[in-house]
Amino acid sequence: MLDAKFVRENLDTVRSALEARRCDWDVAAFIRLDEERRELIQKVETRQARRNEASKQIGGLMKEGRSAEAEQLKDEVRLINEEIAASDAHLAQVDEDVQLLLMTIPNIPDATAPVGVDECENVEIRRWGTPPTFDFEPVPHWDLGPQLGAIDFERGVKLAKSRFVVLGKDGARLNRALINFMLDTHAGRGYTEWSLPALANAETLTGTGQLPKFEEDLFKTGEGLYLIPTAEVQLTNLHREEMLEADDLPLHYCAYTPCFREEAGAAGRDTRGMIRVHQFDKVELVKLTTPETSTEALEGMVTDAEYILQQLGLAYRTVALCTGDMGFSAAKTYDIEVWLPSYDNYKEISSCSNCTDFQARRASIKYRSPGEFKGSRFVHTLNGSGLAVGRTLVAVLENYQRADGSVVVPDVLRPYMGGQEVIVG
């Protein structure tokens, strides 16, 4: 979330950021509540001053034996106390309303983020690899997977509902191989691995920005817990309400988790196959850094995610998201898009974002800062997919398929599959 003081003192900047993000956040409501808050504070301070003055007068009158006048002032003090109590209660409600309003404003875009309306105005940064060419008609994964016995869409519907998937035989084995390969690779590049709950409480999801604004996209249990939409939620909140030491930063974390998304606002998009499903596996990367190093840390995170695709030999491109396409908590985001023959195009497989201090302020994650910034400061948080496992599995099946319907296992995955070189039906 943004700091109320920052919003108050930089209304033009906030309005420009909201316009760039195509967001209709109620600036007028914030101004109204902020003015009401200041009036209440001034009223309370004025009444407190009068109470203090009257209390002193009461003591003097009592010493002089003027008890009747003292009693009148005591009545005034009692009335002032009632007024202050009512104003304090009103102020508490206004403060709560301000906080709730601030919880719904998106992050301020970084100055280097491209300004644009939607994904059509994202900016391509680079490409790696060459999409494969086939001397046969490539089969999309929604047909190839069932032919191999690797993906079963019908049983996913039978066991749960539409947009749930069952992986079988070499599909399940390939999925597990990808997870282990990703985790081992990131651990070798300096990330500490965690094993995390798949359920999170409301405070945790509020800390990273999923609540309260995006509750409709979450699966909720009867006990008030939520199935996590990404391990970013848990990894970032490991240090919620903690004071870290500057020497401990940066922290580089990774985790594999299943992820769950209702995606109420995504009806009709990529519903065929495994591109957009309600449950999927993902290896997540999270960094906690100082403000001075978060820009460089984002570039490093993108490099780490790209490295997975390079090792798998999958062609991809990296794009900088424009302001109208960025996520709620992000100040700057790069998407990595892998080549999928079924789409004859690139599709997102990783999204890496610098959230600056937006999440840290919500989750109260600070560090003791030495030097010129003595005192405590909010950390900067970053997150990225390293990678979405299901989409990577799809990319392997489609890009490594052969005319006879078999699929070649990429070299780096063979040790994780007992030396298996080919997937056959």
Under 8 Å between Cβ of 226 and 198: no
Q: Hey, CA dihedral for 211, 212, 218, 223, is it positive or negative?
A: positive
Q: What is the 3-state secondary structure (H, E, C) of 40-96?
A: HHHHHHHHHHHHHHHHHHHHHHHHCCCHHHHHHHHHHHHHHHHHHHHHHHHHHHHHH
Give the Cβ contact number of residue 41 at 10 Å: 13
Q: Are residues 341 and 384 in the same domain?
A: yes
The reply to whether 276 belongs to the active site is yes
Q: What is the CATH number of the domain that holds 52?
A: 1.10.287.40
Is 113 within a domain? Answer: no
The reply to whether 348 belongs to the active site is yes
Q: Tell me what pLDDT residue 59 has.
A: 79
Last residue of a domain, one of 102, 132, 159: 102
Q: What is the value of pTM for the model shown?
A: 0.92
Q: Are residues 83 and 221 in the same domain?
A: no
Is 287 within a domain? Answer: yes
Q: Are residues 58 and 130 in the same domain?
A: no
- Show the domain range for 355: 119-423
Per residue of the chain (425 residues), what is the pLDDT tens digit? 999 999 999 999 999 999 999 999 999 999 999 999 999 999 999 999 998 888 888 878 877 777 788 878 888 889 999 999 999 999 999 999 999 999 999 999 999 999 999 999 999 999 999 999 999 999 999 999 999 999 999 999 999 999 999 999 999 999 999 999 999 999 999 999 999 999 999 999 999 999 999 999 999 999 999 999 999 999 999 999 999 999 999 999 999 999 999 976 555 667 789 999 999 999 999 999 999 999 999 999 999 999 999 999 999 999 999 999 999 999 999 999 999 999 999 999 999 999 999 999 999 999 998 876 778 999 999 999 999 999 999 999 999 999 999 999 999 999 999 999 999 98
Last residue of a domain, one of 102, 128, 146: 102
Under 8 Å between Cβ of 151 and 145: yes
Q: Tell me what pLDDT residue 269 has.
A: 61
Is 16 within a domain? Answer: yes
Q: Are residues 195 and 322 in the same domain?
A: yes
Is 111 within a domain? Answer: no
Is 107 within a domain? Answer: no
Q: Are residues 84 and 139 in the same domain?
A: no
d(CA 9, CA 198): 40
The reply to whether 261 belongs to the active site is yes
Mention every residue, 6+ apart, whose C-beta is less than 8 A from residue 170: 148, 149, 150, 417, 420, 423
Under 8 Å between Cβ of 398 and 342: yes
Q: Tell me what pLDDT residue 295 has.
A: 98
d(CA 276, CA 267): 10
Give the Cβ contact number of residue 348 at 10 Å: 17
d(CA 355, CA 347): 23
d(CA 21, CA 157): 37
Q: Tell me what pLDDT residue 40 has.
A: 96
Under 8 Å between Cβ of 361 and 377: no
Q: Hey, CA dihedral for 152, 396, 342, 259, is it positive or negative?
A: positive
Q: Tell me what pLDDT residue 60 has.
A: 80
Is 110 within a domain? Answer: no
How far lies 47's CA from each of 57, 83, 112, 202, 302, in Å? 15, 8, 49, 38, 56
Q: Are residues 346 and 371 in the same domain?
A: yes
d(CA 115, CA 237): 30
Under 8 Å between Cβ of 231 and 196: yes
Q: What is the largest CA-CA distance in the chain?
A: 110
The region, left, alpha or beta by phi > 0 then psi within -120 to 50, assigned to residue 277 is beta
Q: Tell me what pLDDT residue 264 has.
A: 60
Is 399 within a domain? Answer: yes
Last residue of a domain, one of 37, 71, 102: 102
Q: Are residues 70 and 141 in the same domain?
A: no
Q: Are residues 185 and 314 in the same domain?
A: yes
How far lies 338's CA from each of 178, 347, 373, 392, in Å? 15, 5, 42, 8
Q: Are residues 123 and 26 in the same domain?
A: no
Q: What is the CATH number of the domain that holds 298?
A: 3.30.930.10
Q: Give the pair of three-digit tokens for residue 311.
A: 């090792």
Q: Are residues 260 and 335 in the same domain?
A: yes
Catalytic residue among 21, 173, 276, 361: 276
Q: Are residues 91 and 137 in the same domain?
A: no
Q: Give the pair of three-digit tokens for residue 44.
A: 């309370």
Q: Are residues 98 and 123 in the same domain?
A: no
For residues 400-425, one letter each, b for 16 or more C-beta atoms within 10 angstroms of the residue's C-beta and e for the rest, the string is bbeeeebbebbebbeebbeebeebee
Catalytic residue among 261, 284, 329, 337: 261
User: What is the CA 297 to chain-centroid distance, rounded?
Assistant: 16
d(CA 123, CA 130): 19
Phi, psi of 193 (to 5 degrees): -85, 140
Catalytic residue among 348, 368, 406, 414: 348
Q: Is the omega angle on the peptide bond into residue 387 within 30 degrees of 0, that is, cis?
A: yes
Nearest-CA neighbor of 191 among 305, 310, 331? 305
Nearest-CA neighbor of 413 among 390, 387, 393? 393
Phi, psi of 312 (to 5 degrees): -85, -10
Is 407 within a domain? Answer: yes
Number of structural domains the chain divides into? 2
Catalytic residue among 87, 294, 350, 351: 351
